[in-house]
Structure 1
Amino acid sequence: MTQAMLEVKGIDVFYGASQILFGVDLTVEKGQTMALLGRNGAGKSTTFKAIAGIAPPRRGEINLAGVTVSGRKPYRIARAGIGYVPEDRQVFPEHSIEDNLVIGTKKGPNGEDYWTLERVYEAFPILAGMRHRMAGRLSGGEQQMLTIARTLMGNPEILLLDEPSEGLAPIIVQAIGDLIRRLRDMGATILLAEQNMHFCLGIATHATVVDKGQIVYRDTIEGLRANDAIKQRYLAI
C-alpha cells in the first residue's frame, strides 16, 4: 500500500483581499516525483508557499506523513520535514559553499541523518571541487545546485523545488535534470513546480496541472505525454 507523504486538502489562499488558490487538492506519495505544471501566474509558487507556511491557507488542510502541519510557523514546518527550495536561489553570498551547506545541517524529523557533507559532495561533485568558493561568485546554475544541496542537508521528508530550470542555460538545465533524476532514483520524494513541461517529461513520475488557482488535471507523466488536448489548453506557451 502506498503512503501519502504530502496531502493538500482543499486549500484557499489569499494575498490581502485577492484569492489566489481555490480549493487546491494535491497528493504526493512516498518516492514519487510529482510535477506541478502551469503557466506563469497559475498558482504554482503560491501552492509551495502555502505548503511551507509562508502564505498560510485561509481554508483547508496540509498534512505531512499523516500529521497536520498547516497553521504552524514556517520554521516548524521545515523541522517537520518539508524542504523548500524557492525560485530565487537564495544563498549566503559572503560565505563559502561548505559554510552554506553547514548552515543548513539538521537531522530529519525522526532523527534521520542520511544527508551529510560527504554524501552531498558525492551527489554534487561540482560543489565538492569548489567547496571553499564564495557562494556569491557562483553561476546561476551552481547556485541552484547549492540551494538544493543545502536543503537536502536538512534531511527533509519531501523536497519542494520551485522552478529549478528557470533562467538557466540549456546545458545547465540538463545538469539540473540529471541531478533530480538521481535524487528520484535514490528514493527521494519530490514536488517540482515548473512551466517547462518538456523538462518535467523526462524527470517526473506523475503530473498535476494548475490553472487560475485551481487543479484541472492529474495523471501519470505518461498520461500527460499522451494528452495533447491538456497540453495545448493549459501548458502551451
Structure 2
Amino acid sequence: MSAPPILEVRGTDVFYGASQILFGIDLAVARGQTMALLGRNGAGKSTTFKAIAGIAPPRRGQVLLSGAPVSGRPPYLVARAGIGYVPEDRQVFPEHTVEDNLVVGAKAGPRGDRHWTTARVYEVFPLLAGMRHRMAGRLSGGEQQMLTIARTLMGNPDILLLDEPSEGLAPIIVRAIGDLIRTLREMGVTILIAEQNMHFCLGVATHATVIDKGQVVYSAGIDELRGNDAILQRYLAV
C-alpha cells in the first residue's frame, strides 16, 4: 500500500466575493514529490495556493496536511502546521540584511525539528552566503527569489509551495532556480510549484497537475505529460 499523501486538496471551491474561481479542485502530493501545478495565466493556480495557505479560505471542500484538516485556520496556523508558502511577488524585507530576513523566518517545524538553519541555508544557497550583510532591497530579482525560498525553508515546513518561481527572471537565473529546485528535490524536500512556464517544470518536476478555468483537467507523472501532445497543446501551449 502506498503512503498517504502529505498534502490533499479535496473538492475545493473558492470564491472572491460573488465570483467563483475554483471548482471542486482535487490535488494530492506525496512526500518527496515535486508536483507542478500547470496552467495558463488566470487558470486558478495562485488561488489554489492561497486556499492551501489559508489566505483564500475554501467555501467548500478541505485541505489536509498529513491527514489532518488545515482549511479554515488562519494563515499563521497553517504555516505553523507545516506549509511553507513562497508568494509570486517575493516580499523580502528590503531594509534588512539577507541574514536578518533568514532569522525572521526561523522557527521549528511542526514536530519541533530544526533541520534548516542559517548554516545549512548558506551551504545550499552559497550565493546568499556571500551576501549575508547586504540589504535585501539591493538584491536582484533572482537573488530575492532565492532569499524568499531560503527564508521559507528556515521555518522547517513539511511542504514548500513555490508560486511562479521563474516569473520575470532572466533565462540564466531561471536555470539557477531550476538547479536549486532539483537540489532540494534530491534532499527529499516536498515541493508544489505553480507555473505557466511548462518547459521549466518539465525539467524540475516529478509529477504534474494541469488546471484550466479553475478545474483540474489532468494529473500524471511528468514523463506521461511530456508525451501527451493533446494535453500540452490544449491547455499549455502559448
- Normalising by structure 2, what TM-score? 0.99
Count residues in correspondence.
237
Q: Secondary structure at the match of 1:210?
A: strand
1:59-138 counterparts in 2 under 5 A?
59-138=60-139
Match of 2:194 in 1: 193
Equivalent residue, structure 1, for 2:18: 17
Distance of 2:117 and 2:173 partners within structure 1:
24
Deviations 1:178-234 (A, max 9, x none): 000000000000000000000011100000000000000000000000000000000
Deviations 1:111-145 (A, max 9, x none): 01000000000000000001000000000000000
**C-alpha separation in 1, matches of 2:54 and 2:220:** 26
The amino acid that maps onto 2:74 is: K
SS at match of 1:180: helix
CA distance in 2, matches of 1:127, 1:20: 37
Counterpart residue number, 1:222: 223
Q: What is the DSSP-based 3-state SS (H/G/I as helix, E as strand, rest coil) of the residue aligned with 2:93?
A: coil
Separation (CA, whole Å) in 1 of partners of 2:52 and 2:143: 26
- The Cα shift of 1:2 comes to 2.3
Q: Quick one: distance in 2 between partners of 1:33 and 1:89?
A: 20
Residues of 1 paired with 2:21 and 2:61: CA distance?
14
Offset from partner CA, 1:140-174 (integer Å, 9 cap, x none): 00000000000000000000000000000000000
Which runs of 5 or more residues in structure 1 are unaligned? none
Say which SS state the counterpart of residue 95 (structure 1) adopts. Answer: coil
Q: Which runs of 5+ in 2 are unaligned?
A: none
Query: Distance in 1 between the 2:114 and 2:66 partners?
Result: 18
Residues 200-215 of structure 1 correspond to what in structure 2 (within 5 A)? 200-215=201-216
Distance 2:221 2:69 in 1: 26
Residue 25 of structure 1 deviates from its aligned partner by 0.2
What one-letter code is carried by the residue in structure 2 that aligns with 1:114?
A: H
Q: Distance in 1 between matches of 2:217 and 2:228?
A: 13
Q: Are 1:27 and 2:38 counterparts?
A: no
Partner amino acid, structure 2, of 1:66: G
Secondary structure of the residue that 1:202 maps to in structure 2?
helix
What amino acid does structure 2 have at the position aligned with 1:161? L
Q: Which runs of 4+ in 1 moved over 4 A?
A: none
**Aligned amino acid, residue 73 of structure 1:** P
Mapped partners of 1:232, 1:29: distance in 2: 27
* 1:132-151 equivalences in 2 (<5 Å): 132-151=133-152
- Secondary structure of 2:182's counterpart equals helix
Q: Normalising to structure 1: TM-score of the pair?
A: 1.00
Please give the alpha-carbon distance, in whole angstroms, between the structure 1 residues aligned to 2:196 and 2:99.
Answer: 31
Query: SS at the partner of 1:4?
Result: coil
Identity, in percent, stands at 79
The alignment partner of 1:145 has SS state of: helix
Deviations 1:15-69 (A, max 9, x none): 0000000000000000000000000000000000000000000000000011100
